[in-house]
């Protein structure tokens, strides 16, 4: 069974304090790994797709990386507006396009 | 360009009732997926439709059903509501069934009392 585990569950940072969120996965064959940002009471907002180990993608203060067993979302010099829940999801290569989501990491950035 | 739209925004129902949730995908997108998100958890896949055909079904009881219309909009129906059905119901659209990137709507908050 495909499993996606995100850590930590919650993270509090001071503005400017860089950190990383982790997404570890156990799947039969990875087709793609996705990162989303979700604000309270709203739908997830697509951030990145990673396809293969060694791949990296950046967007403003966010950088996503992928290894064979996990992905990291690095947040550099975060601002209060980066506060949100960050979700990781994986899609396997077994013929089904159903993504499996992790439970998310709730990030709060204090000014 | 309009994103994915969902209606209603909020809904309060009583146990045993029926509910219909609606979703309009991004213009040009032909695939719609439905997810249930319980507070504190990630979205859980319910259905995917592409070109009006069901392409995937998650582990949900038969009380849950959906359909897609010729204009690619979609409805999610839930019968015999239970307290445990209270959740945020999300719709996501993509260009095709195998598309990597999905774009989510704002969701419908369903409360069952």
Read off the pLDDT of residues B36-56 as tens digits, 9 standing for 90 and up. 999 889 999 999 999 999 988
Pull the structure tokens for residue B62.
């038969």
Task: Give chain A's length.
Answer: 111
Give contacts of A101 with chain B, Cβ < 8 Å.
42-44
pLDDT at B33: 94
Q: Do the Cβ atoms of A43 and B55 come within 8 Å?
A: no
Is-contact B89 B107, C-beta < 8 A?
yes
pLDDT at A96: 65
pLDDT at A30: 86
pLDDT at B62: 96
Read off the DSSP letter of residue B6. E
Interface test with B, best of A34, A97, A102, A103 (most B CBs within 10 A): A97
pLDDT at B96: 76
Q: Do the Cβ atoms of B56 and A45 come within 8 Å?
A: no
Task: Over range B9-29, report the average pLDDT.
Answer: 96
Q: How far apart are the first and last CA of chain B?
A: 37
> Where does the pLDDT of residue B1 fall: very low under 50, low under 70, confident under 90, or very high at 90 and above?
low
Which residues from B are below 8 Å from A when comparing CB atoms? 4, 40-45, 48, 55-56, 58, 88, 90, 92, 97-107, 109
Q: Do the Cβ atoms of B101 and A34 come within 8 Å?
A: yes
Using a CB–CB cutoff of 8 Å, tell me whether A48 touches chain B. no
Higher pLDDT, B25 or A30: B25
Task: Name the phi and psi angles at B63, rounded to 5.
Answer: -65, -20
What are the residues whose beta carbons fall under 8 Å from the beta carbon of A82, sequence distance 6 or more? A61, A75, A107, A109
Task: Name the phi and psi angles at B84, rounded to 5.
Answer: -70, -5
Using a CB–CB cutoff of 8 Å, tell me whether A39 touches chain B. no
Q: Do the Cβ atoms of B42 and A102 come within 8 Å?
A: yes
Low-confidence residues in chain A, pLDDT < 50: none
Task: Find, among B41, B93, B26, the residue nearest to A89 by Cα.
Answer: B41
> Where does the pLDDT of residue B99 fall: very low under 50, low under 70, confident under 90, or very high at 90 and above?
low
Task: Find, among B10, B25, B41, the residue nearest to B101 by Cα.
Answer: B25
pLDDT at A94: 66
User: Element (H or E) spanning B7, and its range?
Assistant: strand B5-7
Q: Do the Cβ atoms of A43 and B56 come within 8 Å?
A: no
Using a CB–CB cutoff of 8 Å, tell me whether A40 touches chain B. no
The order of strands in the sheet holding A19-26 is A3-7, A19-26, A70-75, A62-66, A56-59
pLDDT at A17: 97
Average pLDDT, chain B: 93
For residue B53, count CB atoms less than 10 angstroms from its CB and return exposed for 0-12, middle for 13-18, buried for 19 or more. Answer: exposed
3-state secondary structure of A82: helix
Task: Find, among A94, A88, A27, A95, the residue nearest to B55 by Cα.
Answer: A95
């Amino acid at each position: 069974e495909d499993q996606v585990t995100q850590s930590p569950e919650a993270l509090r940072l001071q503005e400017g304090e860089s950190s990383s969120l982790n997404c570890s996965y156990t799947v039969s064959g990875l087709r793609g790994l996705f990162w989303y940002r979700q604000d309270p009471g709203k739908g997830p907002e697509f951030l990145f797709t990673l396809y293969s180990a060694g791949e990296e993608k950046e967007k403003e203060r966010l950088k996503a990386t992928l290894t064979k067993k996990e992905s990291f979302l690095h947040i550099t010099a975060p601002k209060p507006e980066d506060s949100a829940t960050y979700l990781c999801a994986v899609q396997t290569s077994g013929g089904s396009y159903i993504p499996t989501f992790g439970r998310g990491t709730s990030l709060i950035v204090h000014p | 360009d309009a994103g994915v739209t969902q209606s209603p925004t909020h809904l309060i129902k009583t146990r045993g009732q029926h509910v219909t949730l609606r979703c309009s995908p991004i213009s040009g997108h032909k695939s719609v997926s439905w997810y249930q998100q319980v507070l504190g958890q990630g979205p859980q896949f319910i259905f995917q439709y592409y070109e009006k055909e069901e392409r995937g079904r998650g582990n949900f009881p038969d009380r849950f059903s959906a359909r897609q219309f010729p204009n690619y909009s979609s409805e999610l129906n839930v019968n015999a509501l239970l307290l445990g059905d209270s959740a945020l119901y999300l719709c996501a659209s993509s260009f095709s069934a195998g598309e990597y990137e999905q774009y989510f709507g704002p969701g419908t908050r369903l409360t069952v009392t």
